[in-house]
Chain A
Amino acid sequence: MEKFTKVTGVAAPLMRQNVDTDLIIRIERLVDNTGRKGLGAHCFEQLRLRPDGSENPDVVFNQAPYRDAPIILAADNFGCGSSREGAVWALMGMGVKAVIAPSYGDIFYNNCFQNGLLPVVLPLAEVERLAEETRAAPGNARVTVDLETCTVVSPTGRTIAFQVDGRRQHAMLNGLDDIAQTMSRQDEIAAWQAADKATRPWVWL
């Protein structure tokens, strides 16, 4: 996966609850197999585009300061719904490096850590304050997300701590994939399986 240490940039306030992965990327885009990078062009297309294909100016991603924002601010349960990892690829393809929200869909949250997109958990009041500070200085407000120190620095310079599992933090800082690490435990897996074949032989087809 891609390494993540720190990002500084504009944070796009998409302050909705339950932003589902169908909304992030339509399933047809994953059937077409346009490649992971190509998905960025279709990220949030149902929000960004009107039925006639023109841009909807009311949507934050179509507004000048937020067009290439590397950070998204959202309300509860971001990334709920489908398990499609394409949602993470689409966000990364659009240039998003970090999301800040009070909670995430469990599968989406795991998928982020498989790819190097950082899902930061902060209380809703903190996310709303980041959004307010951003809107107060459109175009100039910058947010920093630092995974080494586990802090967010707000547009007015406030430092806010967040928590992340130590294992996930280490893997993302170093760009480590789980598979290689698990492969080093093949003996343990084989021993578990040998014992299981004796106690639960019906499981082994």
Chain B
Amino acid sequence: MGMTLFDKIWDGHVVADLGNGFVLLHIDRLLLHDLSGARALQEALAKGYPPAQPRLAFATPDHAVSTAPGRTEETFAPGAPLVRGMRESTARFGIRMFDLGQDGNGIVHIVGPELALTLPGTTLVCGDSHTCTHGGLGALAFGVGSSELVHALATQTMVQRKPKRFRASFEGAIPAGVTPKDMILHLIGEVGTAAGTGHAVEYAGSAIRSLPIEGRLTICNLSIEMGARTGMVAPDDTTYQYLAGRDYAPKGALWDRALAHWRTLPGDPDAAFDREHVVDMARVAPQITWGTSPEHVIAVDRPIPDPATGPEDKRAAWTAALQYQGLQPGKPIEGTKVDWVFIGSCTNSRLSDLHAAAAIARGRRKAPHVTAWVVPGSERVKREAEAEGLDKVFREAGFEWREPGCSMCIASNGERVPPGQRCVSTSNRNFVGRQGPGARTHLASPAMAAAAAIKGAIADVRKL
């Protein structure tokens, strides 16, 4: 029987079979951010384990830094010791750090692909659940906790159990107004937030093949929101064109060797999956979440679900979610007044996301009662956007243009949606309190978020 993309990368990285289904897996790349990475380095040191391969580790502060224009690490004072600690420990071991304001700085999952630290066929870990993002380039990437990260730093390996394989195929042409964010939210709505638990997901099908890399990264980013620690797309010519010439991509003869290897990675035609799900793209519309789990999602033209008619085992959760969100079942979600709009995060802060949002904002003005933020994903995204004048487009529409960072996706940096206020956000989690205590989050695509800012309410981007 043939092998999947996942099997090929996994099997190629097994250093030792530990028995009971566990293996010692080699890790090719470690990415460190200011919350988990800086502390893992300190903890490894305290335990007497210096980093095994410092040249394969890279650091960028993103979680606990302000994104206010002109910020330094001191702007959000509680995060300053983390950034300084990262500077000291990375310098000590020769780990490359992309500091605030430098090219290469930004959200760790934006920076990895952008610099080609992420390569097809590599294994990559980071102390962050959205590490699955990097699978968009055909890497086996997954999030780990602090202890596992210390293990990876100290040994360049992980003790892992092989997950099952799940293929999610998106078939058909992508309808107007539908973006990669809508595709993955629609899938999560169909299969639920626990469907991918214990599985490695491979995204396939004609719609995935037609997507540029940035869209594939968005799709893979939300793998963890359906329970899967890792999600990936087989590399193809789109992947190779994206990587060619980037900072850490191989060059010259080494590129040719790498390319020959990468072309062997896609799964064999007869490879088997433990679970399959097919999404018919004709059924996918622009999505918006209504509740407090990413599976609480509907097409924007649908009414807010009624717990009384929902699945019996979900009724209590739906009722609690509607209460937290301040919504009435059966009413249209379109037209629900919003207070905040956040365009950013490792899900949707790449240049193509900003293009999509700017296309809606251009020549329009946000509703007076809305505060709208645009937080580019990296220093490079910011510079490229400014070179195109996108910052001007957003400012003229009344949006704030900010510095790169995780910002209001995680609210670990003083940037929060106030209690009780409603935010349309391009981020990945609508959990209770995620964007701040009492904050009400509606996940959507960048175009949908921009449309909400203009209308001052949840809006169907297809009608603008």
Contacts and interface: CB of A to CB of B under 8 A. Distances in A.
Interface of A: 1, 16-18, 20, 22-23, 26-28, 30-33, 46, 51, 76-77, 80-85, 88, 103-107, 110-111, 114-115, 165-167, 177-179, 181-183, 185-186, 188-189, 192-193, 196, 199-205
Given A27-B410, A165-B161, A178-B159, A106 B198 contact: yes
A120 to B, nearest CB: 16
22 contacts: A16-B316, A18-B194, A23-B431, A23-B432, A27-B412, A31-B412, A51-B419, A80-B193, A80-B194, A81-B429, A83-B36, A83-B129, A85-B145, A106-B163, A110-B145, A111-B148, A114-B148, A179-B49, A182-B154, A192-B15, A199-B261, A201-B254
Contacts of B147: 1, 85, 111, 114-115, 177-178
A182 B157 contact: yes
Interface string B138-178: 00000111111011001111010101000000000000000
Interface stretch (B20-28, B347-355, B365-373): B20-28
A51 B418 CA distance: 12
A165 B21 contact: yes
Interface residues of B, number: 77
Interface stretch (B282-290, B374-382, B395-403, B433-441): B433-441
Contacts of B197: 77, 103-106
B278 interface: no
Contact of A105 (B52, B55, B227, B313): B227
A202 B194 contact: no
Which of A80, A84, A185 has its CB near the most chain B CB atoms (within 10 A)? A80
B438 to A, nearest CB: 6
A18 B193 contact: yes
A77 B227 contact: yes
B151 A107 contact: no
A193 B20 CA distance: 24
Interface string B422-453: 00000001011110011000000000000000
Contact of B150 (A31, A83, A179): A179
A28 B434 CA distance: 11
A115 to B, nearest CB: 7
B60 to A, nearest CB: 16
B65 to A, nearest CB: 11
A37 B155 CA distance: 27
Given A18-B193, A32-B78, A165-B20, A205 B143 contact: no
A23 B293 contact: no
A77 B28 contact: no
B425 to A, nearest CB: 14
B151 A30 contact: no
A130 B229 CA distance: 30
A106 B159 CA distance: 14
Contacts of A83: 36, 127-129, 131, 143-145
Contacts of B70: none
A177 B52 CA distance: 18
A183 B155 contact: yes
Contacts, number: 174
Contacts of A16: 316-317
Interface of B: 15-16, 18-22, 24, 26, 28, 35-36, 47, 49, 52, 55-56, 63-64, 78-79, 81-82, 119, 121-122, 127-129, 131, 143-148, 150-151, 154-157, 159, 161, 163, 193-194, 197-198, 224, 227-229, 248, 250, 254-255, 257-258, 261, 293, 313-314, 316-317, 410-413, 419, 429, 431-434, 437-438
A187 B167 CA distance: 37
Nearest to A36: B146
Contacts of B316: 16
Contact of B434 (A18, A22, A51, A115): A22
A189 B82 contact: no
Which of A110, A200, A202 has its CB near the most chain B CB atoms (within 10 A)? A202
Contacts of A20: 293, 429, 431
Given A83-B144, A183-B155, A22 B26 contact: no
A127 B252 CA distance: 59
Contacts of A202: 119, 250, 254-255, 257-258
Contacts of B255: 202
Contacts of A186: 155
Given A31-B78, A167-B19, A188-B16, A107 B161 contact: no
B18 A205 contact: no
A58 B224 CA distance: 31
Nearest to B257: A202
Contacts of A105: 197, 227
A205 B52 CA distance: 14
Given A83-B143, A106-B198, A189-B155, A196 B26 contact: yes
Contacts of B145: 83-85, 88, 107, 110-111, 114
Contacts of B411: 27-28
Contact of B155 (A27, A80, A114, A182): A182
Contacts of A81: 129, 224, 429, 431
Nearest to A46: B433
